[in-house]
Amino acid sequence: MPVLEVNDLQAEFRLDTGTVRAVNGVSFSVEPGQTLAVVGESGSGKTATALSILRLHPTPPCVYTGGEIVAGGRDLLTLPEREMRQVRGNEIAMIFQDPMTSLNPVKTVGAQIVESLRRHRSLSRGEARARAVEALREVGIAHPEARAGQYPHQLSGGMRQRVMIAMALACRPKLLIADEPTTALDVTVQAQIMELMADLQDRFGMAIVLITHDLGVVAQVADKVLVMYAGRPVEAAGADDLFERPRMPYTRALLESMPRPDVPGGAVLDPIRGAPPNLLDLPSGCAFHPRCGFARPECASTVPALEEKAPGHAAACVLTDDDLPGTSEGRRVSGT
């Protein structure tokens, strides 16, 4: 049974300047112990989808216009807010992009973990304090008793991220949503954070939805990948299958825009031409067609559905495999 199942989710923001369909027909599932990576350029709808799962968008301007989010046999879109507060942090937890703005600057990190524990668990203040210190120890923070009494500004960026992970995992959620968990961290700390998450996943069997720009990280840790563009899912497959045979030109372009350390003479970049579209003024047809090197006339008039192109591999494109010469068959992105 999936820990989370999202079916045709639709979320839009009704602004004075127009309607932004930030989440447009997103579907996926994630099972216990599995990692689903959600990838795409900035503005593709990755974070909007993650926040929609926990209903964290302000309403208004956000309106959920369709679909369902099923967890524990319930559709989260229909839960009263009081019940939804019990889901957040308890059954489904989230690590946000910037721990400095996510942590309360006027409370010690230990007090913030204690607050989360007492909200969801029947613990005394002393029991919650002991559990908070243990949570900090589990994420590799040295001298957790002393660190629990410190404020966020007294910690390094990597340590603040570890505190966020400790807070997210303190109640042993079934699903962890990690939104760019290594943004703004140096490479060494990035590797430590990803290793920590993998270790905790193995120990506790939780599922992870990982939102990231880093395809090298995806290649290392993901079981499944969902590629998004302009608020829509455009490719979904197992990680190995997607890297070996991308079946949507956008996915192929993302892979080719990565540094290639295997190329003689050093790493090179082949950037995607143009820029992502304005969600208030999307192109007709396939939103990627103005930037696509394989676009045909019908691409400007047809919005392709996400359809299975091979077993377990779906893509939203009118082109077939034969129409995409030179795809990255057999190529595996390095995680280094």
Q: What is the pLDDT of residues 66-84, one digit of tens each?
A: 999 999 999 999 999 999 9
Q: Is residue 217 included in any domain, yes or no?
A: no
Single-letter residue type at 155: L
- Contact present, 61 and 14 (Cβ < 8 Å): yes
- Contact present, 146 and 108 (Cβ < 8 Å): no
Q: Is residue 23 included in any domain, yes or no?
A: no
Q: Please give the average per-residue pLDDT across 179-189, as a whole number.
A: 82
Find where tokens 């990565």 sit.
258
Distance CA 328, CA 219 (A): 14
N-to-C CA span, the chain? 34
Cβ-based neighbour number of residue 170 at 10 Å: 26
Identify any residues that bridge with 7 across adjacent strands, giving them in sequence order: 68
What is the full DSSP assignment across 152-182?
GGGS-HHHHHHHHHHHHHTT--SEEEEESTT
Residue 187 — pLDDT band, cuts 50, 70, 90?
Answer: confident
Q: Is residue 164 included in any domain, yes or no?
A: yes
Average pLDDT, the chain: 91
User: 297 Cβ partners below 8 Å, 6+ apart?
Assistant: none
**Boundary residue ending a domain (122, 149, 172):** 172
**Boundary residue ending a domain (172, 205, 231):** 172
304 lies in which domain range? 240-323
Q: Is residue 122 included in any domain, yes or no?
A: yes
What is the full DSSP assignment across 277-334?
PPTTSPPSSSTTGGG-TT--GGGGT-----EEEETTEEE--S--GGGSTT--TT----
* Tokens, residue 89: 């942090």
What's the domain count of the chain?
Answer: 2
Identify any residues that bridge with 281 across adjacent strands, giving them in sequence order: none
Q: Is residue 260 included in any domain, yes or no?
A: yes
- Contact present, 319 and 294 (Cβ < 8 Å): yes
Identify any residues that bridge with 19 across adjacent strands, giving them in sequence order: 14
- pLDDT, residue 183, reads 75
Q: Is residue 113 included in any domain, yes or no?
A: yes
What is the full DSSP assignment across 250-278?
HHHHHHHTS--TTSTTS----PPSS-PPP
User: 68 Cβ partners below 8 Å, 6+ apart?
Assistant: 5, 6, 7, 8, 9, 75, 77
Q: Is residue 65 included in any domain, yes or no?
A: no
**Boundary residue ending a domain (125, 142, 172):** 172
105-135 confidence digits (pLDDT tens): 999 999 999 999 999 988 999 999 999 999 9
Q: Is residue 14 included in any domain, yes or no?
A: no
255-308 confidence digits (pLDDT tens): 988 776 666 655 567 789 999 999 999 999 999 999 999 999 999 999 999 999
Identify which of 56, 30, 53 has the alpha carbon closest to the alpha carbon of residue 209: 30
Indicate the pTM of the whole model: 0.91
